[in-house]
Amino acid sequence: MQWPDNSFWDFSLRLYAGDGMAPICLEVQNRHAADINLLLFCAWAGVLGHRLDGADMATAKQAVGRWNGEIVVALRGLRTKLKTDAMGAAPELAEAIRTEIKRAELNAEHGEQIMLSGVLDKLRQIGGEDALAAADFNMRFYLESLGAKLEKFDFDGLRTIAEFAARINAGNA
């Protein structure tokens, strides 16, 4: 498939590839059953000057909720299951199928990010927001909207993500 250019996807790839970023993102995702694409969207919106409110968060969640739950999470579950249980298939067959599922999962996440990038245009513009502070706020706000009780790891991890996101946005990463 030929994907359209998408600045959110480009931002996410750069952030995720950053030193130590992937483990932090995965840990936050796993600890809070979070949608990593929404977390990255919160960081991206923040570095672009958007401090999200409840209506903004609801709009973003609604835009991708079913897609994430029924497609991305379902594919991740299948991929994870095959990692530890070949279900009677030869290990090399199970691994080949797992690789294809991983590719489908990544494509589904790419699609979700394209959907989310369209949400940004609908958000209210608030000029002058500090990129680092807005990104940090938005990510905490998202996790708290899931009912998460944030701990030191979360605050430190989100701050690290926000700092790196701000450097990407400034062209320094």
C-alpha–C-alpha distance, residues 65 and 57, integer Å = 11
Q: What is the pTM of this model?
A: 0.93
Per-residue pLDDT tens digits for 95-134: 999 999 999 999 999 999 999 999 987 776 665 678 899 9
Over residues 146-167, mean pLDDT: 96
Distances (CA, A) of 136 to 37, 55, 78, 81: 15, 18, 32, 33
**Is it the case that residue 173 has pLDDT exceeding 80?**
no
Over residues 55-61, mean pLDDT: 94
* Sign of the CA dihedral with 114 first, then 170, 145, and 75 last: positive
Residue 129's pLDDT is 73
Over residues 139-151, mean pLDDT: 96
Over residues 5-29, mean pLDDT: 95
